[in-house]
Structure 1
Amino acid sequence: MSRKSQEEMLMEWLEIPLSSDDDLECFSDDSIQDETYVAPESVDCDSDSSDEESQVPVIRTEDVSGTRQSDVIMKESTSQLSDNALKLPCSSKNVTKNSRSVVWKDKQLIIPELQSKFHGNTSLPEEVINLNTPYQFFKHIFPSKLFDLIVEQSHRYSVQCNPDRPIDLSCDDIKKFIGICLVMSIVHVPNTRDYWGEVTGTHLIKTTMTVNQYEQIRKFLHFNDNSAMIPRGEKGHDRLFKIRPIIELMRSRFQTIPVEECVSVDEQICSTKARSCLKQYMPNKPHKYGYKLFVISGISGYAHDFEIFTGDENEPEKRVTGEEDLGASANVVVRLSRILPRNMNHTLYCDNYYTSLPLLVWLHKQGIYSLGTVRRNRVPDCKLPSEAELKKMARGASVERVATVDGVDISNVVWKDNKSVMLLSTLAGQQPIHEAGSAAWNSVKEENLKKAWNKIFDTEEKSQGLIENDEQNDISEILGMLKEIYCHECDEEDVHEWMNIDDEDPGHQIMQDSEIVNVVNDKDDAASIASISAPESEDESIPTASEAFTCLDTALRWIEAQDI
């Protein structure tokens, strides 16, 4: 096949308009001023699709020598183009545009401590410091204006349903209703009305509110005006419209706590069996079906902000000015990081669902350091050991590569644990390396090890202590039973004496098999049997067990000899 026919086939395969040889010859390598990789919009970073057409980039070149613009096709084979396509960084159009391939170098990323020092303020406000009881914390998150809103919207909905019979509702009724719901989440019965039943009923619920009042509040409970909702299918429709005021109010209350230095972004699931278009299936979660939430929380576990997944969060009109479109998963981090003060050197952690090169670059430009696990197909052109090579390495081995992407130094480290773990970071690299195992064991005190050992294996002192505690518990239980039957004459000393009345009784002595054989064969004398069978008695007038056994044997032989 001629070279010309190969080029025509290649251009047809790339769906590029054919041009003449004169158009191709009018451009030389010197005339190429600005090469820009344009990634197709349909490329999915996480997709394993074999569609080669969506993965092959087109290198466009602007003609600065004239007004004509042409598409220049690199004179390479199809296999070379496919290889180059796989080397392109998978990112958003804004980050990929006007950028060349990332070059990874064998060096280490070390950020000076002074440069990464946190400058934010994490001191709690006075209103939070003065909170002491759980009810005070509840009132801080759910203020009185929330109950006023619920009363207003519920009353409005009852009027919309039946203007002649509006519901009579107050804030105290809503608080009682929420309290009953909290109790119901702990005490479970088959039916709601069973909480007011004679046998299965809960006294706390029955004395708080009647069943008819509870069902009436549940019937008309509302948080927003239905008449203001935009219909489904029209622009601006909000799937969470009915609970949007509650969500925004709770988010604002959550953000009254200053954001910690280190935060993490991850998803949670609120389990439900309800029929809803918002319900998601996550097979790796303990509760597989439910509403999916994205949460940003600190080391303390406090959630500073959250977002309920509806599927329309990535619409352009919902994006804040200055935020880039980095992809569906990375945009979650972008939205949740809005609460982080800029240029305060916060550190954000996330897993491989969110981490990508464009996200780390964007966060670094906002003054936010980041670190997260990453998938191999999101780090192009990085020469790190493969899975097969890592299996030959010792556990704990690691390799680091560093690249500069859009002026930001990013470290890519692969570390071998039970499985290989790949991380991207703008904060830390491979160094420093510590032997975590030996250092951890050396820091443990001997007393703590002894306590841990005693918890696993019962020592003699512990067993004796357990016996004494069990005996004391038994005495207390028996005294309680005696008091219930109005027997007040017995005290703790009497019960203790009654429980230990048989301690001095030797009872039936248990012999080994060999001892039984010797007794049957009459090979042992009475003295040896006495030494084995029974302990010495202080009172010599009381016969021993061996003597009693001999007498019983003589009596039985005498009875057998009688003609009865």
Structure 2
Amino acid sequence: MAANDELIARWLEEVPSDEEDLVNGVFSDVEDDVGDGHVLEEISGSDSEIEGEEEPILTNLQTRNSPSVSSVQTSSDDDVPLLELRSRPRKKNFFGKNRFRWSSEPPHYRSRTLQHNIVLEKEGVKPEYRTAINASSTPLDIWSKFFTDDILNKIVQHTNQKIREIRPKYNKQTNVQDIDLIELKAFIGLLFYTAIFKENREHYTSWYKTDGSGREIYRCIMSKSRFEVLLNTIRFDDATTRAARRETDASAPISELFDSFIKQCQAVYSIGSYACVDEMLLAFRGRCRFKMYMPKKPAKYGLKILCITDARTGYLLNAYIYLGKDSDGLNLPSQYNRLKKPTQAVMRLISPIEGSNRNVTTDNWFTSLELADLLKEKQLTLVGTLRKNQREIPSEFLPSRYRHTESCLFGFTKDVTLASFVPKPNKAVIMLSSMHHSPEVDDSTKKPEIILFYNSTKFGVDLLDQRCSNYSTARRTRRWPLAIFYRLLDVSTSNAYVVSLSAQAQKKETRFHFIKMLAEQLTRPYMERRVKSIHIQRDLKFALRRILQIHEADTPAVAGGSCDKLEIRNVCSTCDPKKKRKTQYLCFNCKVSICLECSNKLCIHCRENR
């Protein structure tokens, strides 16, 4: 009995004190409600806990001090289990401000690749469009899958309503005739030309200069007056029912077109294993009740669009326009109303990829434990940066001057991993992941694998925004629906280019060449129809024939004669009768017979009136 008491006393003297643990930098605090029956080491000002193997030690000590056991156990071998218990590694737990518990040891899984990391859907063109989109598809064939003829016909219908409304205000009715599908495609093709030539911010009158500073292609596609009329009259919804729809939908003037376009984006293409959620700011400084001010964005003022894209290619899969407070939860079930606004935004965007085991990458505005749990229910994983004011983050993970540069700290639960990395003194990057479950660190960069994965998948929306900015059709306008229409055109070329690379892997053409070919194919049918008209100038007709690569003999005859030549040659009505010049053309304005000397197909009187 005396020998056992001496062994216990000697062992207790060798146990390190609280000061020794603090100097050696062990871990952290315990919960406030820890009972007196536990022996735990405490460091003030910390929010984590060390759970040692003290409870078995206490049990042995209590057993040894009890009279019933001490009379039986007298062998000197009783100190062996005590020494073994002392050498066991301690299990470390960290606690956030709200007492959320993180373990320092990763969970153990039997399989190498977890079930929630196996993507169930293949990337590429969806089966119903594979026949229509193949290696021989032209840019127009692919683009038409996003802006279908049904969508364009609705724009034609609503635009004609506006044209008929303003037609009585014009004396000359030529430029306010109804638009058709061919002319609308030519109008869009002209906008694509301005995008690749970087002339979208110039005033359109400079395009039509004939002194050498303009571009001939614009004059060949459409007249200046007609282009101005279409810019002012293009509409995307029924104006008669707009006021009633605006009571429930602030984006009523563009919502029908926007939703139809997004549905086509989801129907044509299936994104890869990794998706990215972020916002893009569409530059706009006109009057709009849901215009945003974002000082960190280049434009600062504009319309906010929440997007989910492919993290690698930037393909836009889903998006919605932010319409102000409480607009993130629209079209969501009622149980989502209690969630945070950023969480509601992500839940609204992920509907096309639910149940596919894809990963969603977000920034610190969206990332939270609440979102990670909800995505797990939808069979999705989450990787993102955490804001440092989240209450689930332990104090050990926050920036501190005591943490060494390039040091890492990990916390684990059954489903989520928390990582903290120190890139420079007094700084810390905190990551949350439900995809990674191990404390793996890259040997070359000394960064956790979670951070490297985030850096490779965070730029999906930024890539799309960059493409839209490089070749942009946007023009200065005070109408916000038209500004959104310009952005949809830019997104359509980006998505069509991604589909083109997927369907034509052997071809590596640039986006400039792709958009240029698309503009040519959109405008060609309208130019072929225009070259047959007798109401265009002679030099312009020659330019059209040269661009279309057709000869004068190949031009089909129009009703009432061959092209614009007269069958009977009379004396020119504008020249001196004594010269007896034979007529060959009609004046463009007054339709009188003029001779070859009267240039530009205008008689002397018309040129003087100009």
TM-score interval, smaller chain = 0.5 to 0.7
Q: Which of 120, 142, 146 is matched with 2:147 structurally? A: 142
Report the 3-state secondary structure (helix = DSSP H, G, I; strand = E; otherwise coil) of the residue aligned with 2:409: strand
The structure number with the bigger radius of gyration is: 1
Structure 2 equivalent of residue 119 of structure 1 = 120
Can you list the C-alpha shifts for 1:366-394, whole angstroms capped at 9, x where unaligned? 111111100122243624243124x6313
Equivalences for residues 486-497 of structure 1 within 5 A: none
Structure 2 partner of 1:106: 104
1:156 maps to which of 152, 161, 179:
161
Q: Give the SS at the match of 1:413.
A: strand
Q: Which amino acid aligns with 2:309?
A: S
Partner of 1:370: 382
Q: 1:294-333 maps to which residues of 2 (within 5 A)?
A: 294-298=306-310, 299-312=312-325, 314=327, 318-320=331-333, 323=336, 325-333=338-346
Structure 1 position 414 matched with structure 2 position 420: yes
Q: Whole-Å Cα distance in 1 between the matches of residues 123 and 321 of structure 2?
A: 26
TM-aligned CA deviation for residue 118 of structure 1: 1.9
Partner of 1:341: 354
Q: CA RMSD in A?
A: 2.9
Is the alpha carbon distance of 1:162 and 1:211 closer, same or farther for their aligned partners in structure 2, counting shifts above 3 Å?
A: closer
Aligned residue type for 1:124: V
**Counterparts of 1:284 and 1:312, CA distance in 2:** 20
Amino acid at match of 1:136: D
Aligned position for 1:133? 138
Distance 1:131 1:311 in 2: 44
Higher relative contact order (CA 8 A, sep 6+): 2
Deviation at 1:213, TM superposition (A): 1.3
CA distance in 2, matches of 1:272, 1:314: 20
Structure 1 residues 131, 412: closer, same or farther in 2, change over 3 A?
farther
2:124–2:271: 8 Å Cα contact kept in structure 1?
no
The amino acid of 1:120's aligned partner reads: E
Deviations 1:266-288 (A, max 9, x none): 11122234343333222222333
What's the offset of the Cα at 1:87?
3.6
Partner SS for 1:269: strand
Pairing partner for 2:265 from 254, 263, 276? 254
Query: How many residue pairs get matched?
Result: 333
**For residue 184 of structure 1, what is the aligned residue in structure 2?**
194
- 1:291-335 Cα deviation digits (max 9, x unpaired): 222111112221111222221553766323664542111211111
What secondary structure sits across from 1:307 in the alignment? strand
> What are the within-5 Å matches in structure 2 for residues 449-528 of structure 1?
none
Q: What 5-or-longer segments of structure 1 have no aligned partner?
A: 1-85, 89-100, 440-564
1:110 deviation in Å? 6.0
Matched, 1:241 2:252: yes
**Rounded Cα–Cα distance in structure 2 between residues aligned with 1:314 and 1:329:** 11
| In structure 1, C-alpha distance between the alignment counterparts of 2:210 and 2:428, rounded to whole Å | 60
Contact 1:110 / 1:428 at 8 angstroms: preserved in 2? Answer: no
The answer to whether the 8 A contact 2:329-2:344 is kept is: no
Deviations 1:144-190 (A, max 9, x none): 11221111111123345568987421111111111222223422575
One-letter code aligned to 2:441: I
Is 1:282 the counterpart of 2:282? The answer is no
Kindly indicate whether residue 233 of structure 2 is the aligned counterpart of residue 220 of structure 1: yes
CA contact (8 A) 1:180 1:205 kept: yes
| TM, length-normalised to structure 2 | 0.50
Cα deviation, 1:345-403, whole Å, max 9, x if unaligned, reads 111110101011111111111111111100122243624243124x63132x2111124
User: How far apart, in 1, do the equivalents of 2:204 and 2:146 lie?
Assistant: 27
Alpha carbons 1:412, 1:429 under 8 Å: kept: no
**Structure 1 counterpart of 2:179:** 169
CA distance in 2, matches of 1:330, 1:410: 17
Distance 1:432 1:381, change over 3 A: closer
SS of the residue corresponding to residue 376 of structure 1 reads coil
Once residues 136 and 155 of structure 2 are traced to their aligned partners in structure 1, the CA distance between those partners, rounded to angstroms, is: 25
- Paired AA for residue 178 in structure 1: I
Residues 388, 136 of structure 1: alpha-carbon distance in 2 compared, 3 angstrom cutoff: same
Q: Deviations over 1:394-448 (max 9, x none)?
A: 32x21111246xxxx2221111224411011111145222213499xxxxxxxxx
Per the alignment, residue 404 of structure 2 pairs with 393
Any conservation in 2 of the 1:346–1:369 contact (CA below 8 Å)? Answer: yes
Cα distance per residue 1:58-116 (max 9 Å; x no partner): xxxxxxxxxxxxxxxxxxxxxxxxxxxx944xxxxxxxxxxxx5222222256641423
SS at match of 1:141: coil
Give the structure 2 partner of residue 529 of structure 1. Answer: none
- Three-state SS of the structure 1 residue aligned to 2:396 is coil
The answer to whether the 8 A contact 1:398-1:430 is kept is no
1:207-232 Cα offsets, whole Å, 9 max, x none, are 11111211222222111012212459
Give the 3-state SS of the residue equivalent to 2:207 in structure 1: helix
What CA distance in whole angstroms lies between the structure 2 residues aligned with 1:207 and 1:104? 68
Tell me if structure 2 keeps the 8 A contact 1:266–1:295: yes
Q: For 1:229 and 1:413, locate their aligned partners in 2 and report how far apart those are by CA, in whole Å.
A: 50
Give unmatched runs, 5+ long, in structure 2: 1-95, 448-610
